[in-house]
Chain A
Amino acid sequence: EAQVTQNPRYLITVTGKKLTVTCSQNMNHEYMSWYRQDPGLGLRQIYYSMNVEVTDKGDVPEGYKVSRKEKRNFPLILESPSPNQTSLYFCASSLGLSPYEQYFGPGTRLTVT
């Protein structure tokens, strides 16, 4: 089944404790992206990747890192999480930028206390 998977789905952590949210797709997609969803703000792009070893900042990259060592995986790393990173995170992938539709993962609900 073609899908984008994210893990964990839910995470409660404390300020400063490094964490990684994994994202994997099995569709051989080139474009992958991370978004955060906050009430009233809509989906905001954190980082995106056009292909292996090619990543770039979105609108809200501060406090996040990503890597794209393999085509299928695009992990999101929070080196020192802070409470303002409490949010719902989505990973998405597509064959390319356009006219290709994005496929979204199930989301990761992160709470930083």
Chain B
Amino acid sequence: ILNVEQSPQSLHVQEGDSTNFTCSFPSSNFYALHWYRWETAKSPEALFVMTLNGDEKKKGRISATLNTKEGYSYLYIKGSQPEDSATYLCAFIGSAGNQFYFGTGTSLTVIP
């Protein structure tokens, strides 16, 4: 079983603050990294799929970077809004197989 770690486990920020979280994964045999947003009582929704070292993706106020050589990805949220409150999950796929390995997520609460 591969180890995918996310930090911090939870985060409370004020509306308007910018924030970031980390996803750490094995640096060898990398194939892809996914980021998902999961709101309470809903299903996870895809944010980004990242495949190349140095990848940077952006969707509105949310962006992500990828470093496959050192085995980490950062997710950034600029100017957090209450509607950004959710759990953010990352999922690693190794080149050795076709499985997804999810981290336990970072729970973000944005306080109005």
Given A98-B51, A99-B51, are A43 and B45 also a contact pair (CB < 8 Å)? no
Instruction: Give the distance to chain A from B6, nearest Cβ to Cβ, in Å.
Output: 9
CB distance B44 to A104 under 8 Å?
yes
B102 CB–A CB distance under 8 Å:
yes
**B80-112 CB contacts (< 8 Å) to partner A:** 89, 91, 93, 98-105
Instruction: Compute the total of residue contacts between A and B using a CB distance below 8 Å.
Output: 61
> Could you pull out 8 A-B pairs where Cβ atoms are within 8 angstroms?
A35-B100, A43-B91, A50-B98, A58-B99, A101-B46, A103-B46, A104-B44, A106-B43
Interface residues, chain A, with chain B CB atoms under 8 Å away: 31, 33, 35, 40-45, 48, 50, 56, 58-59, 90, 97-107
Nearest 8 A-B pairs (CB), nearest first?
Answer: A101-B46, A98-B32, A104-B43, A42-B104, A43-B102, A99-B49, A42-B102, A104-B44
**Extra contacts besides A99-B32, A100-B49 (16): CB < 8 Å:** A33-B100, A35-B100, A42-B89, A43-B44, A45-B102, A50-B98, A59-B1, A97-B31, A97-B93, A98-B31, A98-B51, A101-B46, A101-B49, A102-B34, A102-B100, A104-B43
